[in-house]
Chain A
Amino acid sequence: MEWIKPLPVASGETKPFWDACKEGKFLIQKCKTCNEYQYHYRAFCSHCWFGEIQDIESKGDGNIWSFTVINRNRSPGFIDDVPYVVAMIEIEGGLKIISNVINCDPWKVYIGMPVKLTFTKATEEWTLPMFEPS
């Protein structure tokens, strides 16, 4: 089925993140100098600025920190997709990741619900990280 929702755009800075998604890996980052985690993907440590940032493959386990069931979105691709869940998932390092929670009844999602990483292949070029009940 043709993907009619918006697709990401990669820059030189963010290309490694999206390339990893295609290989089924979800990259978060940790600074070798200050040991802080960060998301979304950047080419520098946004905590200490001077440290050496390194990519880490997330284990992909988390819990729903908060969520909303979107019941109205008039944008193309989403207008017929409601209701769907947008959530903040808390994963390792205390990171809160914005994502969709799929493969579940949107109205049965709750705060604290355990979820795990999954990938949705949108097109040949784009694979998008999402979460589903674990």
Chain B
Amino acid sequence: MTDLRKAAAIVGVHEHPTRFAPDKSEWLLQAESAIAALQDAGLEPKDIDAYFTSATQPEGGDLGACSSIMMADYLNIHPKFIDETDVGGASFGYFMNRAILGIQAGLFKCALIGYGATTRSKMVNVGTLGFNDLVGKPMAATPDSFEQIYGITVVGLMGMIAQRYMYDHSVTQEQLARVAVTMRNHAQLNPEARYRTPITVEDVLNSGIIASPLHKLDCCLISDGGAAVIVASPEIARNCKKPPVWVLGFGESFMHHGAGHTDWSAETRNMVSRASKDCFGMAGLTTNDIDMAMIYDAFTINVLLDLEGTGFCGVGEAGAFVEAGNVDIGGSLPINPDGGGLSSNHPGRRGIFLFVEATKQLRGECGLRQIKNVKIAACTATGAAFLARRGTAVHVLGRD
């Protein structure tokens, strides 16, 4: 395979500071984020020759079908390459991979990955609705009719995965809760985080069951938000305003129901393992080389599964790993110093924020929550279509 290590770099990032923007559209939130990311890079709109974005309709806004052309029209950019591969919250990881491939192939040199959503303003209960109600579509013969009639929700899906995982590996609810506590501790160091009041394990366990075994505080928050990431060729990257953050390796993998044969719990971890193997193989690195990680924490259980899938700890060991403080700022593998989706920002598709925070950490721009001497960071994001039809993307980023 072609050596894709350092084929492209992140040269500009921005996470919109808002968490609630009732007077703005998701289109404007993305535009404001893209403008700020371009300024961060020291580039101009005319430099963008590839564009990637994700639909937000209906949970996060009104950007629906053909989202990349519709948003390109609004932004009034005319890149030669567009893509809107949809893997839910992991879409942005997939965009990153496609951007690197296009840059490596010489199809384009500078990609904008953008996102905006107004899920909180629209008061959409993403996790606690039937899927057809959530996406606003009528029941389909296949596969909805075999699933939606039973009243499964997004939180319920993760509840089933968590229930089986806890059964297989004797992981406790307290260990799951500790993930939420850690994210809240980190959020206290992030002035832009939505929730900053400290919580305890008991608070999580007393926050009410949404879908067993998951409590309210095992679930991510709902916010409005936006972000943008600029990915460029090495030639452009060396002339940008800030030092490049190189993509050292990437991988992706997905899972589905396997016609009724899939172990949802183990496969959620195994797909992360497949993506990680490709990613770390490309980078020529191991988990021992990683200074910090951004892990998409839609629910507390996701963090445990991704820690094991990536290989930061063994199968069934992530609960104890978290409980021992390893993922705290100051621990052996700090994760989500921004507070994650559990405490900082989750407009519906969080994947893009992982790249923003990891890039800022690698640049040393994170103020109180800055992790000392970060040289190499990992990002893992898992997103879902519905139920266990899920995709994951894993990245390793590094500075010069």
Contact = CB atoms under 8 A, between A and B. Distances in A.
Interface of A: 5-11, 13-14, 28, 36-42, 46-47, 65-78, 81, 83-84, 86-88, 94-100, 111, 128, 130
Contact of B152 (A10, A70, A76): A70
* Residue of B139, B155, B163 with most chain A CB atoms under a 10 A cut-off: B163
Given A40-B260, A69-B211, A95-B260, A100 B146 contact: no
A8 B211 contact: no
Interface of A is mostly: loop
Interface residues of B, number: 45
Given A14-B141, A37-B259, 5 more contacts: A14-B142, A72-B210, A84-B151, A98-B152, A98-B387
Contact of B141 (A13, A66, A84): A13
Given A9-B145, A67-B160, A81 B151 contact: yes
Interface in B142-179: 142-153, 155-157, 159-161, 163-164, 167
Contacts of A95: 260-261
Contacts of B311: none
B302 to A, nearest CB: 15
Nearest to B162: A68
B129 A74 contact: yes
* Residue of A13, A36, A67, A68 with most chain B CB atoms under a 10 A cut-off: A68
Nearest to B158: A68
B130 interface: yes
A62 to B, nearest CB: 12
A87 B152 CA distance: 9
Nearest to A37: B260
B260 A71 contact: no
Contacts of A11: 141-142
B287 interface: no
A42 B139 CA distance: 17
24 contacts: A6-B148, A8-B149, A9-B141, A10-B141, A11-B142, A13-B142, A39-B146, A66-B265, A68-B163, A70-B156, A70-B211, A72-B128, A74-B128, A75-B130, A78-B151, A86-B151, A86-B152, A86-B156, A87-B160, A88-B160, A88-B264, A95-B261, A99-B150, A111-B164
B133 A75 contact: yes
Interface string B100-124: 0000000000000000000000000
A87 B167 CA distance: 14
Nearest to B152: A86
B270 to A, nearest CB: 16
A76 to B, nearest CB: 8
A111 B169 CA distance: 13
B330 interface: no
A70 B151 contact: yes
Contacts of A37: 259-261
B146 to A, nearest CB: 4
A24 B149 CA distance: 18
B164 A98 contact: no
Nearest to B165: A66
B206 interface: no
Nearest to A84: B151
Contact of B150 (A10, A39, A46, A100): A100
B314 interface: no
Contacts of A98: 146-147, 150, 152, 387
Given A68-B163, A74-B128, A96-B261, A40 B142 contact: yes
Contacts of B332: none
B384 to A, nearest CB: 15
A84 B212 CA distance: 10
Nearest to A122: B149
A38 B164 contact: no
Nearest to A110: B167
B163 A8 contact: no
Contact of A39 (B145, B153, B155, B260): B260
Contacts of A86: 150-152, 156, 160
Contacts of B140: 9
